[in-house]
């Protein structure tokens, strides 16, 4: 079970908030947002099936 899901289940809002901040910092440091942008372009280029 993920840490965020466990924190919400136990209603530990302080732990949930810290988990969200930690995940955000890791994404910003690793540059994972750039990968998402390239994936978005890939899907926008694909033609929908008819």
For 5-29, what is each residue's pLDDT tens digit? 999 999 999 999 999 999 899 888 8
**Domain-located, residue 31:** yes
Model confidence pLDDT, tens digit, residues 26-50: 888 886 555 555 555 655 666 666 5
pTM value is: 0.54
Domain of 35 in residue numbering reads as 3-45
Report d(CA 32, CA 23) in Å as an integer: 11
At residue 44, the pLDDT reads 62
**Domain-located, residue 50:** no
The tally of domains found in the chain comes to 1
At residue 9, the pLDDT reads 93
User: If phi over 0 gives left and psi between -120 and 50 gives alpha, with beta otherwise, what is residue 11?
Assistant: left
CA dist 44 → 7, 37, 40 (Å): 36, 11, 6
At residue 8, the pLDDT reads 92
**Domain-located, residue 32:** yes
């Amino acid at each position: 079970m993920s840490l965020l899901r466990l924190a919400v289940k136990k209603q530990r809002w302080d732990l949930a908030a810290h988990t969200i901040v930690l995940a955000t910092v890791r994404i910003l440091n690793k540059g994972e947002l750039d990968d998402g942008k390239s994936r978005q372009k890939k899907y926008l280029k694909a033609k929908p099936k008819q």
